[in-house]
Structure 1
């Protein structure tokens, strides 16, 4: 069963009211105890004072003092009287003479003929020589003081409670407004609007920090979703042609009336197209593996210069067959950096393969390794071929991007995308620039352990 919307505010109000009542009762009891202790202390101090006064100045001087006190009156509720050994009042307040004083200690008595009934706390203190000091406290004055303290405390608690309630409602309104804004953003995201972002103020609070973190996450999600759509579209576009050609080749190979040579050639063509499809899918898997960060587990400290020179040596015959020249430049000492050896080999191989394919005959391919210090390395592959137009230097790092000039050469448009993913895995980046003429590709590695 679903609770009514007003149940929770009503329950909160009842709890607050109960807390207020309990608080007032506690304040009243504590105030009563504090006032009783204070009045008792005052009475004891007055008794001790008058006893000492009588001892030092004499009973006659004490009587004069008590008479003056009775004439002036006292707002503290205390009255004093002096009696002889027969119980006759010699000085002090007349009301005290009507009270039944105890033989020892304090006693609460009722004032005779009082309406409404008036209670007094009375103490009889012997002074010597048959004289007795009577100290009487009017409990009505104590009750009035207690009521004043209670009213003041109640007013203070009420003001505090109202202030707390107002602050609570205000804070609740702010929290609801901020959370609703974030919830609205989440609803837009759930509805398919990946561009939605949580509102963030320049100088904000924890909600702005939460919104900023959420926006970073949403941006990454949007980037990944956009990338997935792009990859899906590109895969469908780029694999359609080789699959169509492979199907045509298989149809030719399955034709029983075709000559044996034609059928064998068709099988070779189908095999080549299958290799193209597999190469594309493997490249996509390598990119996904690098971008996921899982390959960091296999990273180790290696000599980057030795690895790059080894790859360049393997490509030497290929570059020579393409009518190009290879130049390698590396320090004479090891260039140490933390890297994934297999991915780094593939990335350097992709850069050299691009240079072989696109630089053209007569070009010079330069492979250079630089020690950037602090566990960082820089691998450059440059050529003096036609290069890449400046406006396309960033775009060619995306998946399946092939410029018009390279449409006639084999490839899937994933080579530089894998190099960029490898650079990101290593905490670096792939920087493409104009070699004037030609293209220079710089793969930067950083010794990150996060």
Structure 2
């Protein structure tokens, strides 16, 4: 069962309002009890005062004082009177004469002939000589004060509840708007629109951060999906030729009427085509493992200078055979990085192989290791050959991309793609630039391991 998103803020608002109402009732009861205690204490204090006054000044003076107070008509809710032994009022407030006062102590009585009914809390205190002091509190005045406080408090609770409800529904509307935008983006992605991106505002709040992270993830997914389609198309295109040659060679080798030398040559051709296909597939597998991070468990600390010297010794003869010179420059202090030894050797070997293949006779090839900015190290291969046109520097690192000048020679167009994937695995990038003349290809990798 799907619950409407607006139910939650409604339930939260109702719960908050209920809590406020319960709190208001509790405060009202506590306030009523406090007022009752305060009024009882006031009545007892007035009784004690008038008793002391009567002892010191006499009953006549007390009667005069009570009459004077009755004429003032105090608004504190209390009335005072002096009665004789027969219950007749001698002095004080006229209203007390109609009340059925007790002989002594407290009693709650009803004032007769009043609509609505009017209650009084009466305290009687004998003074001696047949006289009784009567202190009466108008409970209606107390109730009026209580109602006023309760009404103002209820109004405050209502305003608070409305404010909380408006804020809650407003916040809910904002959250729904932001989350629905992200959900709509996910739905578009699910429908096949890999270019869909979540909107990022200028607030830099948690939703903008979430949308930005989601967009980076979507960009990465689109990149991988696009790369997968490109690889699929490229594999179908680039493997068609060697597989076709292999099939033709196997057909010729299987021809029993063909001379033995022809059949053996056909088998050699088929074997060469098979090696080409396997090399291409292995290179694609290495690139996929590097780009997906599956090779990260093979990372270890290694000396980049020692690795460069090893690769120089390995590729020196190949450069000499191509009529070139290979020089290696490493710093005096070792540059130790966290890397994948086999993959780094393969990437550097690809760069050196490209230089040996395309720089041409008489070229000077430099393998340089040095520190770079931002906690990185650089392994660069620079030559002074014909180089790569500036408009193609961004393309040659893609899979299966081979320029026209290189299409007549062997190769699959995966060397620079593997080097770029290796750099990415190591938290860096492959940089291609004009060496003026020639090509500069540099692997910039992070020295410390990625967390």
**Alignment of 1:119 onto 2:127:** no
SS at match of 2:248: helix
Q: How far apart are 1:82 and its partner, in Å?
A: 2.2
Bigger mean CA deviation after superposition, 274-283 or 84-93: 84-93
Point out where structure 2 has 5 or more consecutive residues left out of the alignment: none
Partner of 1:214: 214
Distance, in Å, in 2 between the alignment partners of 1:296 and 1:49 is 93
1:41-95 deviation per Cα after TM superposition (whole angstroms, max 9, x unaligned): 3323433443454456554443333212212223332111123556443321122
Q: TM-score, normalised by structure 2?
A: 0.90
Q: TM-score, normalised by structure 1?
A: 0.90
- Cα distance change of structure 1 residues 44 and 285 upon mapping to structure 2, 3 Å threshold: farther
Distance, in Å, in 2 between the alignment partners of 1:231 and 1:76 is 94
Distance, in Å, in 2 between the alignment partners of 1:365 and 1:13 is 75
SS at match of 1:430: strand
- Cα distance change of structure 1 residues 19 and 301 upon mapping to structure 2, 3 Å threshold: closer
Q: How far apart are 1:281 and its partner, in Å?
A: 1.0
Partner of 1:447: 447
Residue 337 of structure 1 contacts residue 375 of structure 1 at CA under 8 Å; is this kept in 2?
Answer: no
Distance, in Å, in 2 between the alignment partners of 1:266 and 1:95 is 133
Distance, in Å, in 1 between the alignment partners of 2:200 and 2:359 is 49
- Cα distance change of structure 1 residues 57 and 259 upon mapping to structure 2, 3 Å threshold: farther
Distance, in Å, in 1 between the alignment partners of 2:29 and 2:298 is 73
- Cα distance change of structure 1 residues 372 and 196 upon mapping to structure 2, 3 Å threshold: closer
Residue 338 of structure 1 contacts residue 375 of structure 1 at CA under 8 Å; is this kept in 2?
Answer: no
Residue 397 of structure 1 contacts residue 416 of structure 1 at CA under 8 Å; is this kept in 2?
Answer: yes
Distance, in Å, in 1 between the alignment partners of 2:64 and 2:137 is 20
Q: How far apart are 1:345 and its partner, in Å?
A: 0.9
Bigger mean CA deviation after superposition, 269-278 or 426-435: 426-435
- Cα distance change of structure 1 residues 336 and 108 upon mapping to structure 2, 3 Å threshold: same
Bigger mean CA deviation after superposition, 137-146 or 47-56: 47-56
Structure-to-structure mapping, 1:178-193, within 5 angstroms: 178-193=178-193
Residue 13 of structure 2 contacts residue 161 of structure 2 at CA under 8 Å; is this kept in 1?
Answer: no
Bigger mean CA deviation after superposition, 211-220 or 161-170: 161-170
Distance, in Å, in 1 between the alignment partners of 2:298 and 2:4 is 58
Structure-to-structure mapping, 1:17-416, within 5 angstroms: 22=22, 25-26=25-26, 28-54=28-54, 58-84=58-84, 87-114=87-114, 116-127=116-127, 131-372=131-372, 376-416=376-416
SS at match of 2:400: coil
Q: How far apart are 1:236 and its partner, in Å?
A: 1.4
* Equivalent residues, number: 450
1:222-273 deviation per Cα after TM superposition (whole angstroms, max 9, x unaligned): 1111111111111111111111111111111111211111111111111111
Distance, in Å, in 2 between the alignment partners of 1:67 and 1:358 is 125
Q: CA RMSD in A?
A: 2.9
